[in-house]
Amino acid sequence: MATDAAGLSSAVTVALSGDVTGSATFQDAGDTATITTTMATTMGSGNASTTPGSFGSATAIPVLTVDNHGRITQVDTAAVSTGFTIAADSGSSDTVSGGETLTFEGDTGITTTVSNNKISIDLDDTAVSTGSYGSATAIPTFTVDAQGRLTAAGVVSISTQLTVGADSGSDDTVTLGTDTLNFVGTANEIETTVSDNQIQIGLPSTVSGLTSVSATTLTDGTFSVSSGAISGATTIAAADLTLSGNLTVNGTTTTVSSTNMTVEDKLIELGTGTTGSASGDAGIIIERGNDTNVFMGWDESADQFQLATTTATGASTGDLSLTDANLKAGTITYASLSDGSITITGFVDEDAMGSNSATLVPTQQSVKAYVDSQVAAVDDCS
């Protein structure tokens, strides 16, 4: 077996295949073989998208298709957009085309600045100086524009005096912080109370000294006065009461408890409002305590005036039970006197009894004179 070889018995060719192709042949010792490789063609001809060449421009962007070996197998182009649409809170949308300039413009109180590819948007300064406004003795004042910005600012001094006035008297001045403003009522008419930063003004439990009160209805819950009418009153405790107008009492019983009562009227009418045929006795009843009461009035059943004793009271009605009472009087003028059987129409002073009437009563002197004359006549006959 030979330890050295001067070459191969025949030439040998080495070939590459796949995505890269190439081959080389060698035989003798010392031969050098160089393999020239060729990549497979992925871009052909006859189609603009696969034809090798230059792609992309100012108006077209190349779109590449790459295989798994990183090779470009296809090139397409997409048109570059030359405009865009802008919109805002108001106004119509607008389009900015290629070559145009998009300007950011400030409105009232806003300034825009462009520098080094940046746009700065700032609020304009106003005439207001930075600082603090207002204090314990000064009130801040501001002027605000339509954009809500302060365009002016200042302070005004707080008034330290308060002027007070009333229905009467002269106006007065109260110095804040030093003076005390007092709300003072009138004794027995108005009272005031201060508590928890509140001043209450009201009427005392007992009011006196008022000269007039104006209200739709005045009431204490039971007693009421409305439109000149009093209701709910049970007791009037006035020491003296004078009514300048008429007094009308609507009720079933009117009680007067005065010690003495005087009436200026010369005529007193009982039974006011009576209509139709008369019924029931009418008059005045005198209450006599444990003794029988006295009636002075008209006895409707007997159709006559009568003085009588009775058990009736002022609350009684109808025909009363009456018992004749005695009468003591001075001179009595009458039309006639009757005991129920004999009626006397008058007294006469007739010595001769010439009237010879069954309704006349002679005086004592007439009777004596007549008797004396008759006795004398008998004596003469004797």
The per-residue pLDDT for range 181-215, each reduced to its tens digit, is: 888 888 888 899 999 989 999 888 887 877 777 77
pLDDT band at 179 (very low <50, low <70, confident <90, very high): confident
**Which run of H or of E encompasses 372?**
helix 364-381
With tokens 């003296």, the residue in question is: 240
**Would the pLDDT of 368 be above 70?**
yes
For Cα atoms 71, 74, 75, give the angle at the middle one, nearest 5 degrees: 110
Rounded Cα gap, residues 319 and 168, in angstroms = 67
* pLDDT for position 79: 80
Rounded Cα gap, residues 360 and 356, in angstroms = 8
**Would the pLDDT of 276 be above 90?**
yes
* pLDDT for position 57: 81
Higher pLDDT, 161 or 32: 161
Q: What's the pLDDT tens digit per position in 165-176?
A: 988 889 999 887
* pLDDT for position 46: 58
Q: Which stretch of 5-14, 68-77, 122-131, 335-344 has the lowest confidence by average pLDDT?
A: 5-14
pLDDT band at 2 (very low <50, low <70, confident <90, very high): very low
**Would the pLDDT of 225 be above 50?**
yes
- State the pairing for strand pair 191-195/229-231: unpaired
pLDDT band at 81 (very low <50, low <70, confident <90, very high): confident
Higher pLDDT, 132 or 70: 132
**Would the pLDDT of 282 be above 90?**
yes
Higher pLDDT, 24 or 129: 129
How large a percentage of the chain has pLDDT more than 70? 94
Q: 153 and 143 in contact (C-beta within 8 Å)?
A: yes
Of the candidates 155, 152, 127, 151, the residue with the CA atom closest to the CA atom of residue 140:
155
* pLDDT for position 283: 94
* pLDDT for position 105: 87
User: What are the strands, taking DSSP E only, across 250-336?
Assistant: 282-286, 293-299, 304-310, 323-324
**Would the pLDDT of 4 be above 60?**
no
**Would the pLDDT of 370 be above 80?**
yes
**Would the pLDDT of 280 be above 80?**
yes
Tell me how far apart the 2 most distant CA atoms of the chain are, in Å: 251
Averaged pLDDT score across all residues of the chain: 84
Rounded Cα gap, residues 156 and 134, in angstroms = 8
With tokens 């006959």, the residue in question is: 381
**Would the pLDDT of 3 be above 70?**
no
